[in-house]
Amino acid sequence: MSAAKTNGPSYYNSLYRHGVDEKRRVQIPAKWRPESEGTELTLILWPQHQAGTCLRVLPPTEMAKLKADIDAMPNGNPNKVVLKRFIGSESVQVTLDKAGRICLPEEMARAAGIKDEAVFVGLLDRFEIWNPSRHENVKAADAVLASEAFKLME
């Protein structure tokens, strides 16, 4: 009988709130922590929402897929180099400390408006870290669009 996988997330779901300490360290939800010690998560400053910037967090497999998707774009597409430059310069790899925390780089935390508290939002294959008030705006906007979005699943 084979052992079932018991450690690490196979997906990121739910919503969590955690405090941010004076060194900008924030606890990753226990269920979302990588099972292998030393696994690097990629934090990307993500400006793609009208509510404001957040931090998108990709596990290694999703970062590899993102890079492959960008590499697959035609070299003549000007968006290819824009994406490479933006993601390359606005991302950082982080590892969890022994307490299950990551340290948010100062400039990224400031741009995302994350100070004393952070909201972790599961996106199934990745997650986002939001300023609480910005997340409330995103949540309200998502509620308006949800009925149309769920039609895609019918």
Q: 101-145, pLDDT tens digit by residue?
A: 999 999 999 999 999 999 999 999 999 999 999 999 999 888 888
Residue 83's nearest CA partner among 136, 44, 52, 126 is 44
Q: 22-69, pLDDT tens digit by residue?
A: 999 999 999 999 988 899 999 999 987 777 899 999 999 999 999 999
Length of the chain: 154
Note if the pTM is more than 0.85. Answer: yes
CATH topology of domain 15-151: Chemotaxis protein chec (3.40.1550)
| CA distance readout (Å), 77 to 16, 64, 89 | 38, 20, 19
DSSP output for 83-109: HHHHHHHSEEEE---TTSEEEPPHHHH
